[in-house]
Each structure stands twice: as C-alpha cells, then as structure tokens.
Chain A
Amino acid sequence: MEKENRTTGKVVGIVANLVMVEVNGPVSQNEICFITLKQESLMAEVIKIMGKIAYVQVFESTRGLMPGSKVEFQGHMLEVTLGPGILSRNYDGLQNDLDKMEGIFLKRGEYTDPLNREKKWSFKPLAKVGDEVKAGDWLGEVNENDQPHKIMLPFKMKGTYTIKKIVDEGEYTVDHQIAVVTNGDGTETNLTMVQKWPVKVAIGDYREKPRPFKLLETGVRCMDTLNPITEGGTGFIPGPFGTGKTVLQHAISKQAEADIVIIAACGERANEVVEVFTEFPELEDPRTGKKLIERTIIIANTSNMPVAAREASVYTAMTIGEYYRAMGLKVLLMADSTSRWAQALREMSNRLEELPGPDAFPMDLSAVISNFYSRAGYVFLNNGKTGSITFIGTVSPAGGNLKEPVTESTRKAARCFYGLSQARADSKRYPAIDPIDSYSKYLEYPEVQDYLLKNVGEDWLTDVLKAKDVLLRGKEAMEQINILGDDGVPMAFHETFWKSELIDFVILQQDAFDNIDASTPMKRQQYMLSKILSVVESKFAFGHFEDVSTFFKEVINEFKQMNYTEFDTEDFRKHEQTLEEILNKRAN
C-alpha cells in the first residue's frame, strides 16, 4: 500500500470542510492527505474523485484556507496505531491522545501519538524460533492493566512466516524489535509491538464466527431478564431525547461482564464524556475490584468537534475492538449515538451535491450501517481461543419517530431492540425500555436457550415468557379499564393489570443511581422473578376494585424495599417476611 513517490496537489475550491484538490498523480478513494495552511497541516480524506479533481473531507476547520495551498497524499487510508498502552486512554475520533494536547482549546492541525513510546512493558514470548505464524497469531504478551495484551503478527502481513528470532522475556518499549520473521522467499521482516490498520477494513484473521450463544450479563434487569444480549451480539437503543439513552449506556458500560469496554462518544455532549472521565477512575469493577477506567477506552468526538472525524470515530472504536478481540478478550463496544454518525454522512453527501435518499440521508446509509454492525461478533481465533465484540449503539430518532431512516436501517442490522418509550420516561419509569415493543432475537436461538437452561435455571425460559405474557395482558386490561371505567370491568381485570404493574415496578424499573439497585446479578434476578411469579400465580380475594390497587401497592412497596436492600441479608429476609404476611392476609 505504501508508495514511494507521493502524489501531490493544490487546493482549487472550498465549501466548509469539503475541499477540491487538483492532483498530479494517482490517488485512491479514502486515501489520507495533508493540506498545508500556513504553519499548520490539516488532515483530510478523499471521498470522491472526478477526473483530476479529488474531493476531500477535512477533519478540521478550513477557516483561512486559500486556493493554491499545497496538498500531499499519504498513500494509505485512515489508520489506527495498535499496541500496548491503549487501555485507559482518551482519544479523539482520529485516535489522537487528548491528554497529550496542550492548552484548554483544541488546536487545529495538532496530532498526538496514541501510544507511550518511552514506557517499558514486560514482554513474555509465546512463540519460539522456527514456529510458522500467520497474521493475528500470538508472538508474545505483555501485561496491560492486568489484561494479557497479545503481541500478534501484524494483520497486514498475508501468508505464512517463520520466526527467525524472538527476544527473551524482558522489559521493552513498544518500538523495540521483538522478533524477526521470514517469508517463503527468505525476506526478513522486523517486528515491534506496534502495528497499523486501516479503520474502514474489518480485521478478519479468525477461523470461524459462530452464532452468539453466551449470555452477556449487564445487571440491567429489563435487559438480562426479558431481552438478553449475548456475547458477540448486537443491539440498539433508540429513544427520543430525555428518555435516558445515555444513563442506560453508562449503566451497561459500568456493569457489563466484559474484559474491555470501549465507549465511542460520537457527536454527543461533552459533559457526558466528562462524566465518564470523572467517574470511571473512581468506580470499581465489582468482578475484579479494579478501577473501571483500567478496562475502558474512550473515543471522544463530541458534537462540537469536527464532523468528518465524527464519522471516523466509530470506525476507530470498532478497529480497536477487533484488535482486542484477536487477543481472545471479551470486548463491549458502545456507540452514542450512531445517528450523529449518519448525520455526518448526510452533511458530506449534501456538500457533494449527491442525489439524496429519504430525509436527505445518502442512499447507501442502510448498507453502511449493516456493514458496520456485521463487524461485531463472537469468534474462534486460529488458535482455537475465543473472543468477542458485543456492540450496542444508541439511535436518536428525529422527532422520536421510529420510522426515520437511521432507526429503520439499524433495525435491519441489530438483533436486539431496546426501544425507549416517551410515555414511560414521562412517568419516570426508568429505564424507559418498552417491555412490549422491545425484543431480543437471541431468545429464539436454540443455542442461547440451551445456555440459559444450563446456566441460569431450568424454569428460567418459561418464567421469562410468563412474565412477558403478564405484561401484555396487563396492558390490554388497562386499555379496557380506560375505555369502560373502573367499575365497568370485572374485578379480574384490575387484578391482571396490577399483576403487570408488580412486574413493571419490581423488575423493569431500576434505580441507576442507587448503589444496590443499579446492578442486579443474574442469581438475584432469577430469585426475584420466581418470587414475583409466585405472587402473580396466587389467587387473592377482593371485595372492591379499590382494594386491588391498595393491596398491590403494599406488595410493590415491600418488593421495592427488597430491591434497595443487599441480597440475602437479614434485612432482606425481614422485608421478605413482611411481604409474606401481607400476602397471607389476602390469600384465598
């Protein structure tokens, strides 16, 4: 891919961040170039070529740029730098290390190194001289925040190589030569711990990508219990503003059972990223006892940062995810919000004067989204080990309308749908995931059902389906009550409705800001669900419909106290006892 004689060109036209460049040699689509503007050089990407004119999108403001400015093409696409030291870093959409930048304001044309070149890592070889290796094979490992960070044969090196030399266990910087490999005709290649990869190309060096089958615990009850996501699964969270997309995403990224969490803040609020910066170094990962920030990578391209880099940010995040997956790790990737990325595509398509599709989005939007989601997944690596990328994206539908192009396109690509409902948010029923409209396709997978049966409980699946039925029947009963009036319906309607309210208040609603309620382990979820279903299946005697609501409010209150109390403690059992007494009084 690298070229010796680099193509150059000069600027001939400018409209906002779209720049027309007259070139004097070959250029390729998506090639990176630098435009000289006084002492600065601005990074840009080729997005269209017409004859001798290359249309490039500039990742920076073009203020002050003049026709005639020199442009130098780089001979490669937008790449990320991969190596130890990515964890806990805060990058922008182009993988510049934000902490290395000077001053309060972002400076145009300032690009910083994503890695620390001085730090020494303790390297342990995993391969030996004479081994045959292919791209993605593990040569050695270093300890990165207690994760076994594998040093692999670079993904760009196609074919089979033989290890000619590999360093002994010891402390090395990332740029230190750790191995020498030779290919069939004897050409030697020196390897360090660093490699580069173009973000828009998927890293495909694994043996097999089976259907996901393992549950990924998030601690969020209305996901884990009702519509679970799997390791290597895909899901999306559409919701109008103010329905709690970001709070839910943060909850998942704090609690989910993953080795690596990548948060791509794509065109969203800066203060939300600051919240992660502030809280994650303080919060503990309950599974490892280590700080959350140690397993987290943040790609922050907030809404006021350049639009073109916003588009790049999700690809940067996905590529870093693929890199860690190739080490056999469980990666969770969250992108907030994919709508902003789609809007970035729209802005460029508009400036290119392309014929627009629905709502002025580019015609290939759907294809771009599907292609991106397809990069997630559970894989068997060439050495038989497994790794996964679970991807959850939020969608911000214009006007809260789920029929808009980004939501529609995402629905085709993602397997879990967590629709946030305005009505639930308005009545402060958080998380506002609509229990009826949302779905997880994984519940229908026989391999997932099998997994749940073995790992959660034999009755689990039937219980979950029961709970879903109760919710649906409760909704129907409520509609009837609203039409016919409280005394216009049989008493059973009130009971049905309140039984669904019980599930709603105790299982679905969860206080993300309460230390105990925020995250519920699977064992506790199972206990609570079976407890609630036993109430739902009991028969009670009521004289008047007002008694129904009074009774169930008492029951809900006691259950909620249980939710706020540490599991399986004396206090917990005390509430349970009180609950039994309330229930017994009404038992029929």
Chain B
Amino acid sequence: MESQAFQKIYTKLTNITKATVTLKATGVGYDEIASVNGKLAQVVKIAGDDITLQIFEGTEGIPTNAEISFLGRPPQLTVSDELAGRFFNAFGNPIDGGPEIQGEVRDIGSPSVNPVRRDQPSNLIATGIAGIDLNNTLVSGQKIPFFADPDQPYNQVMAMVALRAKTDKIILGGMGLTNDDYLYFKNVFDNAGALDRIISFVNTTENPPVERLLVPDMALTAAEYFAVDKNESVLVLLTDMTLYADALSIVSNRMDQIPSKDSMPGSLYSDLARIYEKAVQFPSGGSITIIAVTTLSGGDITHAIPDNTGYITEGQLFLRRDTEIGKVIVDPFRSLSRLKQLVIGKQTREDHPQVMNTAIRLYADAANARTKLENGFDLTDYDERTLSFAKEYSERILAIDVNVDTDTMLDITWELFGRHFKKAEVAIKENLVAKYWAQ
C-alpha cells in the first residue's frame, strides 16, 4: 500500500479477531483507511484512543506487532475516461495488466443526491425481451434486481439485457463471482465488441469476502463520474447482492452487534438503500440505472435480504422454467417494474397498459385451470381456452429468447386474444377493442 513519509507508524495491536484489530492511536478520523502490514483496513469504531479497524482481507497471519499506518482519507477511486474497457479489483486497482489510471481521485461512498435535483425517470430502456418490455418495462434511473435461484441463468440474462440496452456505459460490480462467471462476462462483452464501454470491478470467490463491501461503492463512484460529469447514461450491474449482504453480516457479527432477522445486521435496509438509491435520472440527461442480482435460497423471498431489497428497489424480476414449453420465462405474476407506469401507453402504444393487464389476468385464469386439472376436475370450455392461450403466450411472449419490438408484442397479444376469447371475456375499454381487436 501507499504510505507517506511523515506518517506515524504504530506497532502494537491490543486485540485481534477474525475480521478486526484494535490498537491505541490518536488523531484518527472515522471511516479513515489504514494499512496493517500492507493489508487495507478501515476504522469502524473509536472509543477514546482505542481504534478498531476492519481488515478487508481478513486477519490471517497478522501479528500483534504489525505495522499500522493511517492514510488520513476514506477509500478512494481515481476516475477519468481511461476507466472505460478496464478491469479492477475491489480496491480499484487494475487486474487486467494495464497501466494505472490517471485522473481525479475521489472518495467513494459519496453523499446522496438531493431529491429535488432529481428528474422523474422517463426514458424507456428496450431489451427486446417481451417478459420485460411488455410486462415489466424498464426505465432509465430505475433500480431493479433479478430474484433468482442459484441454478438459474441470471448472469446470462443480465448480460443480454446489458448489451441490448442502449446505454453509454455499462459498469459491472461483481461480488463473489466465480472465476468461470467472471470469464463469461469478459467473453460476452468482448465478443459483442462492447468492451470499450464496459468497466468492471470484480471480487471473485478467490478473494476474501469482506473485500466485497467496497465493490458497489467503487462501481457507483465510477458511474457517478460518467453520469454527472459526462452526462452519460450508465447501466450498473451488481451481482450478487446476497453475497454482499452476507459480508455485512460477517462484519457486524465480529463487532458483537445484535443481529436482527435472519442473522442480518439491524441496519441492512439502510445499507442496501444507500447503494440502490444511487440509481438516478439527472435533469442534465445523465442517468444511473441499476440491475442487480439477489440470489434466493430455495425461492424464499421472505428472507431478510430479498425482503429488504424488494422494499428498496423499483420492482423485481423473477425467472422461471416453464415446463409447458421447456424454456426459461420471465414470471409474469411475481415480476414487477414499478416505473413502467411512467412510460407504458405514453412512449409505447396507447393499448399497452390494458393489454398487459388483461393478458396476465387470463394467464392467471390458466393457472387456476391447471390446478383444477391437477386435482382431477373436469375443465370447462373457458378453462381449455385459457390453457391453450397460456401456452402460446409463454412461447411467443414470455420466453426470454424472444427478441421483438413492443408494437409487435402488442399485436401478437391481440392476435391471441382474438383467437382464444370473446370480446366480453377480455373486458378491455371499448375504443381500444374497436381499434385493435384482430379481425
């Protein structure tokens, strides 16, 4: 680590735990970083002259006579246009063998944007995936996670969304990424010829878990540089936020804090909100959109991590394998984009909101019919029709391999309505039916 000649070096640690060390020192500021035998650490508690430091890499092998020097500043990142196309570790140091970044040094974890200086998100982000564009439309400045089980192809879908979305920069914050997934992202971005607009901060499973805590702030500091200073639209991908929250619980546990639900720290909501709320639309045109991944254990969304996330983010996307068609679909029931109301029927065709809701209602009727079937009851004619509608709807709309524009999605849905239902069963506003009902 860097060190400055005039700095005082301490050499006596009084306490060492798995993640923290304590020493006596003066003139130290809260949140300041320090170097302990070359390992990066941050001040997490000051009680008189007892200073407790959290060591990001863990305390393995640290002796009581370790050399400690304080750097007099919080963690920082050097920002400039040179960031584009580069790969960094959680400390913001290049890991791609390239040169150090020259530019302006900024503290990470900057203050919040004044809410009155925000603009209402209003630019639709098209992905071509109907399960998203039609039913859960994304908007720039939005924050939305994939809630996915570990076996689902969330990283692939996320990479696909990132490449199709027309944004100026894509910033990947990888936390606890397996080396294979890291290489996957690198290859996909490379093959798409998009590497020059992508910046990656990566903590893989080979790195110590506590280091992860720096990744979102690093990624978002870079994002703010491009969104605020350069007025660019920036898409930030954070995967996997569950591993980030796990790292938070490790630290709070080592600091003897009383855990709340699911052994998570009581401040989990604020900790996650601080990150997700960096998503913003600026009046100047710059924006930060966050798409994250929160892995679930056994699909349980009542666990503290997905639960708190759901209250912070503007919706969530669920992936599900539809056995009827043998493909992965974006689940229309549990997925939700809260900001879609700002664009659907405004930047898209007028019939979008009603068509979307009606199709989902009919799809729900199909799910009820399926339950009836499973329980051994006879199906009515209407039930049969909903089932055949649902199958086609999954195949032609919900499957994630669909790639069409929104008007086509709407036309397909009207076509399905016309083929399977009567007008009264669809119950859409008359003037829309008159205009769009497939003859």
Hey, which chain B residues are within 8 Å of A456, CB to CB? none
Residues from 84 to 125 in A contacting B, C-beta threshold 8 Å: 90, 98-99, 101, 103-108
Q: What is the number of residues of chain A that contact chain B, defined by CB distance less than 8 Å?
A: 77
A546 at the interface (CB under 8 A from B): yes
A195 at the interface (CB under 8 A from B): no
Query: B residues touching A (Cβ–Cβ < 8 Å)?
Result: 26-32, 44-49, 74, 109-121, 141-142, 228, 257-261, 265-267, 269-270, 273-274, 277-280, 282, 301-304, 307-308, 310-312, 314-316, 333-334, 336, 338-339, 341, 353, 357, 360-361, 364, 372, 375-378, 380-382, 424-425, 427, 429-430
Which of B44, B228, B382, B430 is the one whose CB lies under 8 Å from A561? B430
Hey, which chain B residues are within 8 Å of A15, CB to CB? 44-47
Q: Are B427 and A90 in contact (CB under 8 A)?
A: no
A521 at the interface (CB under 8 A from B): no
Hey, which chain A residues are within 8 Å of B301, CB to CB? 399
Q: Are B114 and A101 in contact (CB under 8 A)?
A: yes
A130 at the interface (CB under 8 A from B): no
Given known contacts A14-B30, A304-B273, is B382 in contact with A546 (CB within 8 Å)?
yes
Q: List 12 A-B contacts (CB under 8 A).
A: A14-B45, A64-B31, A64-B74, A103-B117, A105-B114, A278-B120, A300-B115, A346-B266, A351-B257, A399-B304, A400-B307, A549-B382
Q: Are A553 and B49 in contact (CB under 8 A)?
A: no
Given known contacts A242-B310, A275-B120, is B114 in contact with A98 (CB within 8 Å)?
yes
Hey, which chain B residues are within 8 Å of A62, CB to CB? 30-31
Given known contacts A67-B46, A553-B424, is B114 in contact with A104 (CB within 8 Å)?
yes
**B259, B260, B353 interface centre (most CB from chain A within 10 Å):** B260
Please measure, in the bound complex, the distance between the C-alpha atom of A427 and the C-alpha atom of B424, giving whole angstroms. Answer: 19
Q: Are A67 and B48 in contact (CB under 8 A)?
A: yes
Closest to B283 in A: A104
Which of A356, A487, A550 is the one whose CB lies under 8 Å from B378? A487
Hey, which chain B residues are within 8 Å of A66, CB to CB? 27-30, 46
Q: Are A343 and B270 in contact (CB under 8 A)?
A: yes
- In the complex, how many angstroms separate the beta carbon of B314 from the nearest chain A beta carbon? 6
Please measure, in the bound complex, the distance between the C-alpha atom of A346 and the C-alpha atom of B29, giving whole angstroms. Answer: 25
Hey, which chain B residues are within 8 Å of A101, CB to CB? 114, 116
A3 at the interface (CB under 8 A from B): no
Hey, which chain B residues are within 8 Å of A43, CB to CB? none
Q: Are A546 and B120 in contact (CB under 8 A)?
A: no
Provide the main secondary structure of the chain B interface: loop
The interface-forming segment of A217-225, A228-236, A263-271, A458-466 is: A263-271
Hey, which chain A residues are within 8 Å of B336, CB to CB? 242
Residues from 234 to 255 in A contacting B, C-beta threshold 8 Å: 240-242
- In the complex, how many angstroms separate the beta carbon of B378 from the nearest chain A beta carbon? 7
Which of A67, A90, A486, A561 is the one whose CB lies under 8 Å from B115? A90
Please measure, in the bound complex, the distance between the C-alpha atom of A278 and the C-alpha atom of B48, giving whole angstroms. Answer: 48
Hey, which chain A residues are within 8 Å of B121, CB to CB? 271
A581 at the interface (CB under 8 A from B): no
Q: Are B311 and A546 in contact (CB under 8 A)?
A: no
A155 at the interface (CB under 8 A from B): no
Closest to A38 in B: B29
Closest to B334 in A: A426
- In the complex, how many angstroms separate the beta carbon of A292 from the nearest chain B beta carbon? 16
Closest to B260 in A: A360
Q: Are B307 and A398 in contact (CB under 8 A)?
A: yes
A61 at the interface (CB under 8 A from B): yes
Closest to B46 in A: A14
- Give me the 8 closest cross-chain CB pairs, A-B, nearest first: A399-B302, A303-B273, A304-B277, A360-B260, A241-B310, A485-B377, A63-B31, A64-B29
Please measure, in the bound complex, the distance between the C-alpha atom of A349 and the C-alpha atom of B328, giving whole angstroms. Answer: 45
A27 at the interface (CB under 8 A from B): no
Q: Are B30 and A65 in contact (CB under 8 A)?
A: yes
Hey, which chain B residues are within 8 Å of A267, CB to CB? 269-270, 273
- In the complex, how many angstroms separate the beta carbon of B132 from the nearest chain A beta carbon? 16
Hey, which chain A residues are within 8 Å of B257, CB to CB? 350-351
